[in-house]
Amino acid sequence: MPGYDYDLFVIGAGSGGVRASRMAAAAGARVAICEDSRVGGTCVIRGCIPKKLLVYAAHYRDDFEDAGAYGWESRLPLFDWRRLIANKDKEIDRLNGVYINLLRSAGVELIEGRGRLLDAHRVQVGERSFTAETILIATGSWPFVPPIPGAEHAITSNEALHLDDLPRRIIIVGGGYIAVEFAGIFANLGTEVTIIIRREELLTGFDDDIRIALAQTMRAQGINIRVCENIVRIDADAAGVTARTDTGHDLSADKILYATGRLPLTQDMGLEEVGVRLGRGGAIAVDAFSRTSVPNIYAVGDCTDRMNLTPVALHEAMCFVRTVFQGVPTEPDYENVPTAVFSDPPIGTVGLTGPVARERFGKVDIYKSRFRPLKHTLTGRDEFTLMKLVVDSATDRVLGCHMLGADAPEIIQGFGVALKCGATKAQFDATIGIHPTAAEEFVTMRTKEPDPEAQRLDPVSS
């Protein structure tokens, strides 16, 4: 576009920003992207990928322990945290290079530095400023630590991935994705883990049976879960940290990790000064097409706080490119987004929980199966798999698919396709299972759970 340096200037080279810039360049746009940290963003540099590598590391403990039941004479080998972190860092460096190359080969100009809006078409990065017809904000989010006395002694997931030594004892605050994932990692690597949550159960918003079952399993693994408790101050000395709770307890550990949510990274960017409206927690307010209150400025990913998952940021980025550079206005679709928690055991879920489905659809049928995985019939490990289906009684459509157990994230990805296609319970039933697997249970569940609504109305006969 004559008059502007670029057709598109992207602020933030994480998942959403990199995808949008590459795809816009492929559509013929002249694109620049700026980044003040490492190209790759939260997911690649300090989130999903390094975390999953640590999850793999942690899982070896179960495998070594279980091997004896299968005839392997084994003792638990020594674990070297520093070697794990060094290998993980090497892989993250490699991926960082891959992302930089992806941008280069797409013809996107990478500008190092923090972007700040000067007006609706002008971005300042360091001493330089650039103009663009369209600007995309994709700055992501950052861990939030509640401002209590001593909060500076806490670490977040950012630092947890770079500790010099494996902590002997750790306190983890919060009961969401990051808290339960790191609890599993540290506990399996041999750290004494205490989780502290302000509610009665972990993982608000997930299926209740799964939340309860995960907590049971984590407790059986030796993780201490303290509920309905808050930390009011943290003190630190050479020995570690001491956290005072609102129930009057003092908890000591080497480290205290806060996993209490993330906030959009939108401060000091000149957003409000140029008219970009911010919403709750500083999230950029956008319309259904990811357009902000300034017509040529768009935003995708965690900085908009819609559904904070990497694949969703990628999807929003693709919809943005289709809308702005391919002439096909496309709204991101947030229905039936599958997601996983890489706890131990992991959770996979897609669609609605029972209570939400009941609110939206009225009567629903619930199918539930709980069993000991075949593998653990020999190991005796006190672990079970839980699966649930939520079905619309009126149409037979499957509205939700939830699983706690080995391979749940891999299994639920496939069922995500089925739900996206609007599969009915009859179609699930008509599908032949793969035997012997855990996944086959999803196509062989025949007995409905008693309807809790009917029980509530007629507690005597039900």
The residue within the footprint of ligand NDP, chosen from 15, 308, 330, 385 (CB under 6 A), is 308
125: β partners: 115, 128
- Answer yes or no whether residue 199 interacts with ligand NDP by CB under 6 A: yes
CB of 226 to ligand NDP, least distance (A): 12
Q: How many CB atoms lie within 10 A of CB 373?
A: 18
The tokens for 44 are: 């690649």
Beta strands in 216-259 (DSSP E): 224-226, 231-237, 240-245, 250-253, 255-258
The answer to whether the CB of 262 falls within 8 A of the CB of 141 is: yes
Count the site residues for ligand NDP by CB under 6 A.
Answer: 24
One-character DSSP codes across 14-64: SHHHHHHHHHHHHTT--EEEEESS-TTHIIIIISHHHHHHHHHHHHHHHHH
The answer to whether residue 249 is catalytic is no
Please check whether residue 264 is in contact with residue 271, taking contact to mean a CB–CB distance below 8 angstroms: no
Cβ proximity to ligand NDP: between 405 and 423 the closer is 405
342 is an interface residue for ligand NDP by CB under 6 A: yes
44 lines the binding site for ligand NDP (CB under 6 A): no
Least Cα distance to 93 among 46, 58, 52 occurs for 46
Q: Using CA atoms, how far apart are residues 179 and 140, in angstroms rounded to an integer?
A: 19
Which position among 131, 216, 245, 339 is part of the footprint of ligand NDP (CB under 6 A)?
339
| Contact stretch for ligand NDP (CB under 6 A) within 159-167, 191-199, 217-225, 400-408 | 191-199
Nearest approach in angstroms of CB 248 to ligand NDP is 17
Report which DSSP code applies to 303. G
Give the Å distances, CA to CA, from 364 to 110, 348, 397, 430: 51, 21, 10, 20
Of 30, 262, 306, 315, the one binding ligand NDP (CB under 6 A) is 262
Q: CB of residue 201 vs ligand NDP: minimum separation in angstroms?
A: 9
Q: How far is the CB of 259 from ligand NDP (least distance, A)?
A: 4
State in angstroms the smallest separation of the CB of 182 from ligand NDP: 9
Binding mask 149-178 for ligand NDP (x = CB under 6 A): ------------------------xxxxxx
In angstroms, the first-to-last Cα distance of the chain is 69
Q: Taking contact as CB under 6 A, which single stretch among the options 104-112, 197-205, 286-294, 426-434 is the one that binds ligand NDP? A: 197-205
Residue 111 or 256: which CB sits closer to ligand NDP? 256
Q: Any contact of residue 340 with ligand NDP (CB under 6 A)? A: yes
Minimum CB separation of residue 115 from ligand NDP in Å reads 23
Give phi and psi for 93, each to the nearest 5: -60, -40
Site residues for ligand NDP, 90-149, by CB under 6 A, read: 146
Q: Are strands 385-392 and 364-371 parallel, antiparallel or unpaired?
A: antiparallel
For ligand NDP, the closer CB: 349 or 385: 349
H runs (alpha helix) in 161-309: 177-189, 208-220
Selected binder of ligand NDP within 32, 187, 259, 314 (CB under 6 A): 259
CB atoms within 10 A of CB 433: 12
Contacts of 395 (CB under 8 A, 6+ apart): 424
- Our CB check for ligand NDP shows the closer of 23 and 154 to be 154
Q: Which is nearest to 136 in space by CA: 318, 307, 282?
A: 318
Q: How far apart are CA 233 and CA 245, in angstroms?
A: 7
Rule CB under 6 A: is residue 341 a binding residue for ligand NDP? Answer: yes
Q: How far is the CB of 345 from ligand NDP (least distance, A)?
A: 14
Question: Which of 92, 179, 251, 300 lies at the binding interface for ligand NDP (CB under 6 A)?
Answer: 179
Which residue, 263, 261, 239, is CA-closest to 250? 239
From 18-26, 125-133, 216-224, 255-263, give the range in contact with ligand NDP by CB under 6 A: 255-263
Compare residues 130 and 206 and give the one whose CB is closer to ligand NDP: 206
Residue type at position 145: V
CB nearer to ligand NDP: give 231 or 276. Answer: 231
Binding mask 204-243 for ligand NDP (x = CB under 6 A): x-------------------------x-------------
Cα dist from 81 to 5, 57, 190, 441, whole Å: 47, 9, 11, 38
Residue 348 Cβ, how far from ligand NDP at the closest point, in Å?
10
Of 189, 99, 198, the closest CA to residue 148 belongs to 198
Q: Which stretch binds ligand NDP (CB under 6 A): 57-65, 71-79, 253-261, 451-459?
A: 253-261
Q: Residue 142 Cβ, how far from ligand NDP at the closest point, in Å?
A: 10
Q: Which residues bind ligand NDP (CB under 6 A)?
A: 146, 173-179, 181, 197-199, 204, 230, 259-262, 308-309, 339-342
Report the catalytic residues.
435
